[in-house]
Amino acid sequence: MEYKNTEKKDYKSSFEVSLDQNSIAKVIDQKITEKQPTFEIAGFRKGKVPINIIKSKIGPQVENEVLNEEISKNISEISEKEKIESLIQPDVQFKDSYNFSLSFFLKPEIKIDDLKTSEIEKISAEVTDKDIDEFREKVRREYYSLESIEVSDDSSVIDFEILNFEEEQKKIFSQKEVRIDLNTKTEEETFLDLKKVLLKIKNKSEFSMTTKGIKIDCIIKDINKKIFPKTDDELIKVLKMDTIKDLNNKITEKLNEDVNYLQKEFFIEDLLKVLSEKKKIDIHQEVVDLELKRKYQVDTSTLKDEHKERVDNLKKLTSDNIQKDFIFSELVKYLDVKVDQKELQEHVQKYYGDKIDQRTAETAYGTLLRNKIADHSMKTFKIKETKLSLEDMMKKGSHNHESSTHSH
């Protein structure tokens, strides 16, 4: 690799980079050769396919993989050699497969030590007997048995079979046997159409209806009413537990876990908000515009006047998020927070089970990192204690989640 610095500003450093084609070609050839013993194609025995044929089949794919690895490795090398930390993911613009321009957007300087007197809100809630009783009642409403009845009402669970289950009907229903709970809270069109027809219908009867322009002919297989456990003894029998005390202990453990999670989430949110306001960072417009293009596919250079207000809101949100992400990364360094492999595996095992994908692993890592930042920060910054009821804490959590969803 060869590179040269082409632009240096107070917020940005750019380079022209040329990859070594000969060394990359050797890596590509080596990877293709490594695949030969297991490569299969019609007309050749396994492991006997000529290299040139393998190259014609998978050469472009292997080249792509190798180039991506090399580019990533070279960006890291340049960053390390030039002692650059980028505020956001570096911008890469390709001239061809082996030549590209690279721009780092430099992190501003910030001293967390100067912000330690900031007062951060720490919200807590105590799990009461009333909370446990209310949660146990929710559990009771979730665990029920079904009893067959003759005529449906608005809380029935109905099983029916679609008699004309063909290509048209498959656009709406994934299988010919369907179960529907008439007590479901939804405004989905097909459900509402079905509910009109199925209310007060007799068991084992046939019906026809049209939904979303598609006709379905059906027969009722069974109509059921839900039978809920009436007593705590019935409930623990359904849950296969020994005593109501065991159930209450499980509920208490679950609610305390929820409180602990929300407390840390609220604390991190307030920490980043307070520190961002106290140490306002000037985020260059080029950085904001690049992130807008990456995250929202918004190109400010082609912006129409009627979209200006929406885009201005997105710009502010993006700038705020960049600042918070930057402060978070500085807190990780300042507090020297690390997540080791063992605790990550234990967390994954507890909450996700054995089979997880890369995205789930990253989510688990992020959760553990945030928890550690919260724990360390509670001992570092000034604390303002706020006590809420469990209900109010849950409402606040729900409201914060909705605000986050709407803003994104």
3-state secondary structure the chain: CEEEEEEECCCEEEEEEECCHHHHHHHHHHHHHHHHHHCCECCECCCCCCHHHHHHHHHHHHHHHHHHHHHHHHHHHHHHHCCCCECCCCEEEEEECCEEEEEEEECCCCCHHHHCCCEEEEEEECCCHHHHHHHHHHHHHHCCEEEECCECCCCCEEEEEECCCCHHHHCCCCCCEEEEECCCCCCCHHHHHHHHHHCCCECCCEEEEEECCEEEEEEEEEEEEEECCCCHHHHHHHCCCCCHHHHHHHHHHHHHHHHHHHHHHHHHHHHHHHHHHHCCCCCCHHHHHHHHHHHHCCCHHHCCHHHHHHHHHHHHHHHHHHHHHHHHHHHHHHCCCCCCHHHHHHHHHHHHCCCCCHHHHHHHHHHHHHHHHHHHHHCCCEEEEEEECHHHHHHHHHHHHHHHHHHC
Class of domain 2-107: alpha beta
Residue-wise pLDDT for 266-321, tens only, equals 999 999 999 999 988 889 999 999 999 998 888 877 777 777 888 889 999 999 99
Q: Average pLDDT, whole number, for the chain? A: 91
Residue 47 confidence (pLDDT): 85
Residue-wise pLDDT for 155-191, tens only, equals 999 999 999 999 999 999 999 999 999 999 999 999 9
Residue 280 confidence (pLDDT): 87
Residue 304 confidence (pLDDT): 75
Class of domain 145-227: alpha beta
Domain boundaries, the chain: 2-107, 113-117+240-335+380-407, 145-227
Percent of the chain with pLDDT over 90: 77
